[in-house]
């Protein structure tokens, strides 16, 4: 489907679910961006979920979002159970504004929901020539090291910095072996998941996506990955006033109340300590790219390069929509 037509459809769907025109546009842009960067697990496959949560009154389509100024650099946002895209968009823009004034912008968001790809918000800061960290927590999927029960989300860690080229350095990674969205899509499409990414509810390795969703996802690097998930739970949950410690509700299956997800954005001017950051980051990247390469590797890529290439390639194409997602669009448009 042509991107312009698809965007109009998504905006119409969100407006039919009582979002304002500006909020509907924010949501549509985020979903389409996910498709263009090659992350369909965070794109159209989640549209029905957001609409279901609005219908069940656990996402507020008309939020009264409050921004509390703590200092010139620090703000706290109460998102009033808004859709996560809108809360995060306001949050990152406020962090950028604060950083432009003082050199550092720190923004905590509470009472939000799932906001899609962290890298999407990091890119907004990097495009303003700023360094950024983004943190958000998620529903239970990973067990704390040594525990049988899942408690932490796949809690992404995201870092971005401007480089000397047009392509920003953006590392956006979940702390699970694969992100939960891929398992959800596999379950819906009736496909297997790779070995070594999840256990079933009995603690046995599984390639069945539905059994994996009922069981436990495996973290990257064993106890280290579990520790990173815990760190993000503290930063984006405990610290911000959001839910934490396994209390974030699953957006697909739990309609008993709002998610109250927390987000934390830390944005910094790159010249806080050195006046020649651009030159230094250029040299840093150049040194690494010059390293001898293993067989089969043509180029050492920094985080963000592959994504940018996919984005440019996909920008010229129509967006391919699987049959089940097409059905969703038709039903939601009815």
The CATH number for 138's domain is 3.30.1370.60
pLDDT value for 123: 98
What average pLDDT does range 133-158 have in this prediction?
A: 94
**Structural domain contains residue 6:** no
**Structural domain contains residue 7:** no
In terms of domains, do 276 and 312 share one?
A: yes
What average pLDDT does range 252-257 have in this prediction?
A: 96
**Structural domain contains residue 9:** no
Distances in Å between the Cα of 190 and the Cα atoms of 23, 88, 114, 123, 324 are 33, 32, 24, 33, 11
By the 10 Å C-beta count (0-12 exposed, 13-18 middle, 19+ buried), 202 is classed as exposed
Tokens describing residue 67: 């921004």
In terms of domains, do 107 and 162 share one?
A: yes
What average pLDDT does range 257-274 have in this prediction?
A: 98
**Structural domain contains residue 11:** no
**Structural domain contains residue 294:** yes
User: Rounded distance, CA 187 to CA 41, Å?
Assistant: 12
Q: Is the confidence at residue 334, as pLDDT, over 70?
A: no
In terms of domains, do 123 and 246 share one?
A: yes
**Structural domain contains residue 50:** no
In terms of domains, do 241 and 307 share one?
A: yes
In terms of domains, do 191 and 304 share one?
A: no
In terms of domains, do 121 and 237 share one?
A: yes
In terms of domains, do 191 and 279 share one?
A: no
Distances in Å between the Cα of 186 and the Cα atoms of 99, 197, 253 are 40, 13, 16
Range of the domain at 278: 63-176+220-319
Q: Is the confidence at residue 232, as pLDDT, over 90?
A: yes
**Structural domain contains residue 5:** no
In terms of average pLDDT, the best of 71-85, 205-219, 316-330 is: 71-85
What pLDDT band is residue 261 in, cutting at 50, 70 and 90?
very high
pLDDT one-digit tens code per residue, 304-314: 999 999 999 99
User: Rounded distance, CA 181 to CA 198, Å?
Assistant: 13
In terms of domains, do 70 and 158 share one?
A: yes
pTM higher than the cut 0.85:
yes
In terms of domains, do 195 and 309 share one?
A: no
User: Rounded distance, CA 92 to CA 135, Å?
Assistant: 11
What average pLDDT does range 32-57 have in this prediction?
A: 96
Domain count across the chain = 2
pLDDT value for 95: 98
pLDDT one-digit tens code per residue, 68-87: 999 999 999 999 999 999 99
The CATH number for 185's domain is 3.30.60.50
What average pLDDT does range 126-134 have in this prediction?
A: 98
């Amino acid at each position: 489907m042509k991107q312009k037509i698809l965007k109009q459809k998504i905006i119409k769907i969100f407006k039919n679910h009582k979002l304002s025109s500006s909020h509907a546009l924010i949501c549509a842009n985020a979903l389409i961006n996910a498709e263009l960067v090659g992350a369909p697990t965070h794109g159209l496959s989640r549209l029905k979920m957001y609409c279901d949560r609005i219908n069940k009154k656990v996402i507020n389509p008309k939020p009264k979002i409050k921004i509390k100024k703590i200092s010139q650099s620090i703000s706290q946002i109460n998102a009033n159970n808004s859709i996560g895209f809108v809360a995060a968009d306001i949050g990152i823009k406020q962090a950028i504004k604060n950083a432009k004034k003082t050199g550092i912008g720190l923004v905590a968001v509470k009472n939000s929901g799932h906001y899609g790809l962290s890298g999407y918000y990091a890119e907004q800061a990097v495009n303003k020539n700023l360094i950024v960290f983004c943190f958000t927590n998620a529903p239970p999927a990973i067990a704390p090291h040594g525990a049988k029960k899942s408690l932490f989300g796949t809690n992404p860690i995201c870092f971005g910095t401007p480089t000397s080229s047009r392509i920003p350095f953006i590392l956006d990674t979940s702390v699970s072996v694969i992100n939960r969205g891929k398992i959800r899509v596999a379950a819906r499409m009736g496909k297997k998941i790779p070995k070594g990414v999840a256990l079933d509810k009995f603690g046995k390795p599984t390639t069945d996506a539905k059994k994996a969703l009922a069981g436990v996802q495996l973290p990257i690097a064993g106890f280290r990955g579990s520790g990173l998930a815990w760190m993000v739970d503290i930063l984006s949950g405990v610290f911000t006033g959001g839910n934490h410690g396994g209390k974030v509700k699953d957006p697909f299956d739990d309609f008993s109340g709002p998610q109250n997800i927390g987000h934390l954005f830390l944005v910094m001017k790159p010249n806080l300590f050195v006046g020649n950051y651009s030159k230094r980051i250029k040299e840093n990247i150049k040194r690494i790219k010059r390293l001898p390469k293993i067989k089969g590797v043509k180029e050492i890529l920094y985080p963000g390069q592959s994504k940018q290439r996919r984005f440019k390639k996909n920008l010229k194409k129509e967006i391919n929509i699987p049959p089940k997602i097409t059905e969703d669009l038709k039903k939601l448009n009815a």
